[in-house]
Each structure stands twice: as C-alpha cells, then as structure tokens.
Chain A
Amino acid sequence: MNIKGIIPALTVVGFILLIWTVAVVPMNAHLTADQAQRDGLVMTPEAPRDRQDFAGLTLALKNPAIIPLAYNLERPRLPSPHQVAAELYTTVFTKAPTSRRSLVYHAWVTLSATLLGFVIGTTLGVMLAVGIVYNRTMDKSVMPWAITSQTIPILALAPMIIVMLGAIGIQGLLPKSIISAYLSFFPVVVGMVKGLRSPDGMQLDLLRTYSASANQGFWKLRLPASMPYLFTSLKIGISAALVGAIVGELPTGARAGFGARMLVGDQYGQPIVTWAALFGAAITAALLVAILSFIEKRTLRRMGMGAV
C-alpha cells in the first residue's frame, strides 16, 4: 500500500474505533449502574429492576457518573478499546512466551497447526492441479467436485474429524492441521489449474517451434506463468487455514490455542480474554498474509512480472 492509501485507511480505522468507544457506554450502562450501586453511589432509578426499563443510553444520561466507570468495568459486555489493548499488551509482552498465560504461547499452538496444514494442503493442491492439467480424465472427473466442494460448509466437518482421529489415537496437532489442509487445498487447486492453463496458444506454439519437450514446457512456461495465480490462492488459503485451526479447537474443548482462549473467555465470563484472542488471531492472519504478499512481490519482481 502506498502512502496515499494510508491516510484514508487510518481515517476509516479511526471512525470504527470512535463508534466502538461511543458504544461502550450504552452497552455497559446496566452492568455499570449495578456495580456503582454496590460501591455506594446513588442511582436513578434506585431499583435494578426499574433500570431494566430504560435503554442503555438513557440510563447513562440519567446517571452521568457511570460514564467513565463503563470504560473500566471488569467484566463488560463490550470491553473498551484500551482494555483490549492492555490485555493484549500484558499477555504478549509481559508474560514469558512459554507460560500458559501468554498469548504468544497460544498463538504458537494455533499457528503450528495452521502452518503444517497449509504446507500439506498446498503441496497436495499443486500436485492435484498438475494432474488435472495433464490428464483429461482427471480434469473431467475431479474438477467439478473441486468446484462443488467450495459451496459446502466444510467447517461442519471439523468436530467429526477431530473425534474420528481421536478414536484411532491421533490427537493434538495433526487433526487441526488436517482441517487447515482441507481448507487451503481447494483454493490452491482451483488457482493453480487456472494458472497452469494461463499460457495462451501463441506461447505454447512458440515453445513447439523451439521443439521443447513436455517437461521443458512445464518448467519453463506453465509453472512460471502460474505464479501470480498461485500467490493469490495462497493468500486466500492461509487465512482459511487459520480459521480452520481455530474452529478445530472449538468443539472438543482444546486446552491451548486461540480457539481455546475464545472458549475459555466465553465460559468463565471473561470477555476481555475472548476479545484479546480475537484480535490476536486477526493480527496473526494479517501478518501471515503480509508475509505472503512480501514474498509474492519479491518473487514476481525477480521473474519480471511485478512491474507495479
């Protein structure tokens, strides 16, 4: 992204933060009023029952004293941005990365499953794509299924895969990786098939005039030509893989990872933990895509395709 794009993007982010900050007061008003009353402040109306009749905003305007308190509630319905930032800071920077309290530790648990799955899915996807491009029977039989499978909510399979593999004694990293692999597999297949077929007739004819073999045609023309398509699919695939790993942690009550953190925060009434895990996952996804974009730019430039 160039400098010109940063200012508008920051403005939009700022706007979202503003809405969030404003929404904290009405969302938390009732909880804050209850807490303030227990701490000895006088609320209008006095009975918690009566307060339910008012909307959050009206309640806050009736009791201006609770407005600052709403931002520092211990168990808010909507945590304020600074609370989430503080939780992220303490769990990322002040805890040892090996500690179970550290978000870096949980990030690594999810990330290792994501990366393993991504590598498996990408490798298989590229291999299948080569098969589809070179074998007409495979193209006709597998390709329609590859496309249809994208319309199926594969994540519904996640809990079953984990239990299935658990029943034959495989636990931990591998089941989550398989879900990740499955999710990154099909974008790669579809993108690679498109990419390997992208050289046009003229280019293929040119190779024929050089009397290039099929092997040379693959390594010197088709594979390089598929690179832009491959990278586009990889960027879709890696964020899908991360979602897969997180969802893989949900249904069986995993002990570690972003999904486990979200679940723990949900079950033990610690919304700030859930929010921090959500943002941690978001930042991880953004970093993964950014790394792939960087590699993409470098690779395409070296291949003479990344002029822009």
Chain B
Amino acid sequence: MAYLIALAIWAAGWFINAKLANGPQSDTRGISLLIPIIFGITIVAMWEVLVTMLGVSPIILPPPSMIAARFATSIPMLWADFEQTILKGALTGYIVGMIAAFAVALLADRSDFLTKGILPVGAFMAALPIVGTAPIFVKWLGSDWESKAAVVAVMVFFPILVNTVAGLKDTSAMQRDLMRTYGAGYWPTLFKLRLPAALPFIFNGLKIATTLALIGAIVAEFFGSPTVGMGFRISTSVGQLALDMVWAEIVVAALAGSAFYGAMAFFEKRVTFWHPSQR
C-alpha cells in the first residue's frame, strides 16, 4: 500500500513536470523555477509516506515532518550553533583566507617566475585533503572558533589564489598594448584593466570556496569544540541517535551554504555584468 501511494505521488509529480517541461511556456522564469520545486516536493512527500507507513525507525531515517517539528522547536539552539560555526568560524576564516590569497596573488603577479611556480603548487595543494589540518590547528589554537577559522582560511586560500593568478593573466596583448599607449603604468593597468578582467575568475574561486568554508568549519569541530556549534551538535546527536536533530542541522547547513553561494553569485552579477556569461 505504502509503495502504491509513493508510486502515485511520483507519477503525479512527474506527470505535472512533464506537462510543464514540454509545454509552450517551459522556458519562462516562473516555470523553470516551479519544476524543480515540484520535483523537490514530490521527493519529500514520498519520503514522508514511505517512512511513516512502512514504520521505518526514526533512528534510521526520520520523516520530514519530524525534522520540521524539531527544527521549529529548537530554533534558539540552531541559531547559537549557526552563529558559532558559520558566522564566527567559517566567515572569519573565509575573509582572512581571501585577503591572504589576494595578497599572494598580487605578489606572484609581479614576477613571471613566481607565477609559474605558484600555479602548479597551488593547484596541487587545492586538491589535497586539507580537512586533515583540522586536528593540528585545534591543538595549536584551542577548541574555540579561532582554530576553525584557521582551518577554513587554509582551505579557501588555494582555490582563490589559483583562480586569481590565472585571472590576472587573462588579458590580450592588444589590450595591454592599448594601456601602454595611454601611458598607464603597472598600477593603473592593474586597477583599470587586469583586475576587472580577472573578476570572473576570482568569483569562480570565491564560489568554490564558499562550500569549502562550511565543510572546513563543520569538520574541524569533529576534532574538538566547545559545547556549541554545528559540527559538535551533529557528532553528539549522532551519538544519542537523535537523527532528527542531525537533519535539522543539515537543513541549516544547506540553507546557509545556498545563501552564501547565492550572495557570491549576486555580487558576481552586479560586478561582472559586462561578461558574456552574465548576459
């Protein structure tokens, strides 16, 4: 019975979406927003029906309604965790790492030799499992948010560095010659031509770094933290088999991650409106 209802929900959702997607107005903004929302609702509804009707233990998979209830009743706690992990840990680290990456990128940019050296080393470091630095930083800086910020700063440093250095190279000889005919020196060329031209690359790095920042801040808390924070709450709630709390934290992480990424994408749109990919 449960399977039949789930199947019916799936069929209904799919039928509506197929109609909408193949319909005449499928490329309008509203419809292309509506289709994934219907898909999401379909999945959540199937999840609810299957879990409650089949009597799946909430220790394995709590139904969405239970997660929503838990979310609603523990907003103060979730907010404290959010503040500790995202606002203090991830955001501070992100800003520090970003500034450091820009500084090194500008330094590397002044010499061809350094650029050639930093790009491969940076690309190599960006692929490393940097989360492994978490126990080291927790030992050095204590278990509060400072150590999380340090982990995040190191994690976001390399992607931003590699993209910024690559972006600063992305001007044609013709454009640079034009600047020279205007009599522009290094700094005016940097600010008027090369930095704006590098912005699409820089934002690419910044967008990749948003997810890394959250991952770094949450994972670093597995190695020691005060009694607040998303990583702390996830690991202790897992220990207590309070999976609804874990899922509530995941919802917070998902919302925060999407909002952070969305904010970066919004700035990108405002600043690089001239780029072909934004038109």
Q: Contact between A160 and B21 (Cβ–Cβ < 8 Å)?
A: no
Q: Which residue of B lies closest to A275 (CB)?
A: B136
Contact flags B204-244 to A (C-beta < 8 A → 1, else 0): 00000011001100110011000000110011001001010
Q: Contact between B21 and A136 (Cβ–Cβ < 8 Å)?
A: yes
A128 at the B interface (CB under 8 A): no
Q: Which residues of A contact B234 (CB under 8 A)?
A: 156, 159-160, 251
Q: Contact between A168 and B127 (Cβ–Cβ < 8 Å)?
A: no
Assign chain B's interface to a size class: 35 or more
Contact flags A138-152 to B (C-beta < 8 A → 1, else 0): 011111110010111
Q: A142-B39, A246-B132 are in contact. Are A77 and B139 (CB under 8 A)?
A: yes
Q: Contact between B235 and A251 (Cβ–Cβ < 8 Å)?
A: yes
B61 at the A interface (CB under 8 A): yes
User: Smallest Cβ distance from A273 to chain B, in angstroms?
Assistant: 10
Q: How many Å lie between the Cα of A68 and that of B48 in the bound state? A: 64
Residue of A1, A7, A145, A275 touching B40 (CB-CB under 8 A) = A145
User: Smallest Cβ distance from A217 to chain B, in angstroms?
Assistant: 21
Residue of B131, B139, B249, B262 touching A246 (CB-CB under 8 A) = B131
Q: Contact between A278 and B21 (Cβ–Cβ < 8 Å)?
A: no
Q: Contact between B218 and A141 (Cβ–Cβ < 8 Å)?
A: no
A239 at the B interface (CB under 8 A): yes
Q: Contact between B17 and A137 (Cβ–Cβ < 8 Å)?
A: yes
Q: Contact between B258 and A152 (Cβ–Cβ < 8 Å)?
A: yes
Q: Which residue of B lies closest to A239 (CB)?
A: B127
User: Smallest Cβ distance from A23 to chain B, in angstroms?
Assistant: 11
The CB with the most chain B CB atoms within 10 A, among A263, A265, A274, is that of: A274
Q: Contact between B35 and A164 (Cβ–Cβ < 8 Å)?
A: no
Q: How many Å lie between the Cα of A235 and that of B18 in the bound state? A: 34
Q: A5-B116, A9-B120, A156-B253 are in contact. Are A247 and B127 (CB under 8 A)?
A: no
Q: Contact between B132 and A281 (Cβ–Cβ < 8 Å)?
A: yes
Q: Which residue of A lies closest to B265 (CB)?
A: A151
Q: How many Å lie between the Cα of A139 and that of B132 in the bound state? A: 37
User: Smallest Cβ distance from B31 to chain A, in angstroms?
Assistant: 8
B261 at the A interface (CB under 8 A): yes
Q: Which residues of A contact B39 (CB under 8 A)?
A: 141-142, 145
Q: Which residues of A contact B20 (CB under 8 A)?
A: 140
Q: Contact between A137 and B117 (Cβ–Cβ < 8 Å)?
A: no
Main secondary structure of the interface of B (DSSP, over half): helix
Q: Contact between B61 and A286 (Cβ–Cβ < 8 Å)?
A: no
User: Smallest Cβ distance from A16 to chain B, in angstroms?
Assistant: 8
Q: Contact between B258 and A151 (Cβ–Cβ < 8 Å)?
A: yes
Q: Which residues of A contact B52 (CB under 8 A)?
A: none
Contact flags A7-42 to B (C-beta < 8 A → 1, else 0): 111111100100000000000000000000000000
Q: Which residue of A lies closest to B42 (CB)?
A: A141
Residue of A155, A160, A275 touching B219 (CB-CB under 8 A) = A155
Q: A8-B117, A262-B132, A266-B135 are in contact. Are A152 and B127 (CB under 8 A)?
A: no
User: Smallest Cβ distance from B128 to chain A, in angstroms?
Assistant: 5
B121 at the A interface (CB under 8 A): yes
Q: How many Å lie between the Cα of A99 and that of B246 in the bound state? A: 36
- Residues of chain A having any CB pair with chain B under 8 Å: 1, 4-5, 7-13, 16, 77, 136-137, 139-145, 148, 150-157, 159-160, 163-164, 167-168, 235, 239, 242-243, 246-247, 250-251, 258, 262-263, 265-266, 271, 274-275, 277-278, 281-282, 285-286, 289
Q: List 7 A-B contacts (CB under 8 A).
A: A4-B116, A12-B114, A140-B32, A144-B35, A156-B250, A160-B234, A266-B139
